[in-house]
Structures are given as C-alpha cells and as structure tokens.
Amino acid sequence: MSDLAATIAAIAAAMARETTRGAVAGYIPELAHVDPRHFGIAVVDAEGREHVAGDADLPFSIQSISKVFALVEALAAHGDRVWARVGREPSGSAFNSIVQLEAEAGRPRNPFINAGALAVTDLIAGSGGTPAILRRVRDLAGDPTIAVDAAVAASEAATGFRNAALANYMKSFGVIDGPVERTLPVYFEQCAIAMSCRQLARAGRFLMHGGRCPTSGAPLVSAERARRLLALMLTCGHYDASGEFAFQVGLPGKSGVGGGILAIAPGRASIAVWSPGLSKQGNSLLGTRALELLAHAMMWNVFNPDE
C-alpha cells in the first residue's frame, strides 16, 4: 500500500499532464464555460485527516451527485414511501433517457438517473424543498457556506426540456403527484449546488463511517440505510457506465455532469475528484482515471477480503 499524501500528489501531477480530457457538459450553457484544464482531488481518511491536491478548494457544480443527498433527505422525511415510486435497478440507459418509462408504467429504475431523481425530488418539493436539501448537505459537510449557484440553476431551467418531459411523463402515470412546475425548480437548484472537492469529501464522511457523524459518532442515517445508499452508488451511480466503474475502480461512487465524482472506500476514505471533461456517458474522464489510480495504489476495493 502506498503513502496517501504522496499518491494523491502524484495523481494530480499525472492528471495535469493528460491531454485527452473529454468535453465539458455543453448542454447546460452555464457549464459550457468551465475550463476543462481543472483537476482537483480531496480525500478524508478514517481518522479525519484531509489530503488534497490540485483545485481541491474551487467550487464546481455538483449536478447529479446531489441525487445522493436528495435521496438521504427524502428517506429521512418520507421513509420507505420513496420506494413506492422509484426502483433500485441499474438502468443501462443514458442518465436522461425516457425509453424505460413507457414500458415500466412511469416508475423510474433508480433514484440516480434523472427520472428517478425527479420522482424523489417531487416528494421533497412537497415537504422542505430546496432549503431542506441544502440544510442536509451543509450539515453533512459541516459547512454553512455551501450554496446554490443561481446562474447555473437558471441556465438549466431555461434549457431543461428533457427534464420537463420526464417529469410530465411521470406525472401522467401518477408517479409524480405535485405540480411539475413545483418539482422542476427544486431539481434544478439541487443540481446547481456548488461545492469544492474538499467540501464534497467531507459531506461523504458519513458513508465511510456506516452512517455515523464523523465527529460525534451519532447516527445520521442508520447503518442499514448507509449500506443501501452505497449499494445504489455502486450499481447505479454512473448511469450506463456503472458496471465499468465497478470493474475499474471497485468502489461505490456517484458522478455528475459538472465533472465531479464522490467515491467511498467504506471504513477507509471519502474521496471527491473533479475534472470537467466528460466521457460519452457523462462521467468525468480524468476523475474516473484518478479514482482508478488511487484505488489501485491504496488497495481500496469493496471486493477485497478484509485484511
């Protein structure tokens, strides 16, 4: 096993030299301006030590990584009623696909694709709305400064025709019960939360610690819920590249089209990486590469027998 600080520094140096970086998410106009040369990494270890390199303190748009925090909030506020409207199967389809909804009575495959997140967000829109999600993220990260980037939210609202289509389609099946006009803004705002790698890695600590607060040890979510969130991240966190991510990295992770990925090595580390250039499935190209290198160097893999 390698030294963590040295490994992270070496990965950041290697990523800075990479010339193939992928394309930024141009379909959200405000994200099309982001410089693809950014790379950041932050790791919080089991003892709470933080190791960072590159642009680890620069905020970026967390986009679909927010689907994890929204699910935590929905489960806290609505319990297992969440599972009446959304499944727990990988979709094998693009993050914004509509095709399965017709065949499957409007019930999205899982909470980490857009359709599933919209169904989850509809529940939250009827309870605490965006402030509840933001409060949850701030609490988990221990950072009251985390905020929604209003320009990104507005940019997505102006161009979010597919998400509007998904929400309306699900509404026709009764899977969304509130007004679509109430659900969509909450969805766009949660996607537009801006966080740095350091803030994101801090927000993921409870998942490394079986649902417990890293400082007080108090349960933030039950151990069973933490395990299930990780199971969903492993099987569904990277859309139609979830199998490939499990194969190459071997850790539960959740990506977003802002170029961030949150990955968890249970009992070992909460890891956030950011590089805005994406693969064709919408996952950070260098972020995935960096996680592969880190997981291999540290021998972090959920399928390792316990040392």
Q: Which is nearer to ligand GLN, 248 or 279 (CB)?
A: 279
Contact 283, 25 (CB under 8 A): no
Rule CB under 6 A: say whether 63 interacts with ligand GLN: yes
- The reply to whether 276 sits near ligand GLN by the rule CB under 6 A is no
Active site residue 169: no
Q: Which residues pair with 148 in a beta bridge?
A: 193
> Shortest distance, CB of residue 185 to ligand GLN, whole angstroms?
12
Which of 90, 256, 266, 287 touches ligand GLN (CB under 6 A)?
256
Cα–Cα distance, 282 to 245 (Å, whole number): 13
| Count of residues near ligand GLN by CB under 6 A | 11
Active-site residue, from 67, 137, 155, 270: 67
Give me 117's structure tokens. Answer: 């997140």
Cβ 260 to ligand GLN shortest distance, Å? 9
DSSP letters, 106-155, are T--S-TTSHHHHHHHHHHHHTTTHHHHHHHHHHHHHT-TT-EE-HHHHHH
Does residue 237 belong to the site contacting ligand GLN (CB under 6 A)? no
Question: Which of 100, 130, 163, 196 is the binder for ligand GLN (CB under 6 A)?
Answer: 163
d(CA 141, CA 291) in angstroms, rounded, equals 21
187 is annotated as an active-site residue: yes
Out of 187, 196, 221, 270, pick the active-site residue. 187
Sites for ligand GLN among residues 14-53 (CB under 6 A): none
**91 binds ligand GLN per the rule CB under 6 A:** no
Query: Read out DSSP for 276-305?
Result: --B-TTS-BHHHHHHHHHHHHHHT--TTSP
The CA-CA-CA angle for residues 242, 244, 248, to 5°, reads 120
Least gap, CB of 184 to ligand GLN (angstroms): 10
Rounded least distance, CB 63 to ligand GLN, Å:
3
207, 226 in Cβ contact below 8 A? yes
Binding to ligand GLN (CB under 6 A) within 93-122 occurs at 95-96, 114
Closest separation in Å from C-beta 119 to ligand GLN = 13
**Angle at CA of residue 91, ends 220 and 203, nearest 5°:** 25
Structure tokens at 205: 């600590």
By CB under 6 A, is residue 191 in contact with ligand GLN?
yes
One of 24, 52, 64, 180 is an active-site residue; which one? 64
Nearest CA-CA partner of 50 in 113, 142, 135, 127? 142
To the query of whether residue 67 is one of the catalytic residues in this protein, the response is yes
In angstroms, the CA 304 to CA 297 distance is 13
**Closest to ligand GLN by CB, 63 or 235:** 63
Q: What is the number of the residue whose Cβ is closest to ligand GLN? A: 64
* Amino acid at site 250: G
Query: CB of 132 within 8 A of CB of 61?
Result: no
Active-site annotation, residues? 64, 67, 187, 239, 257
Note the residues at the interface with ligand GLN (CB under 6 A).
Answer: 63-64, 95-96, 114, 156, 163, 191, 256-257, 282
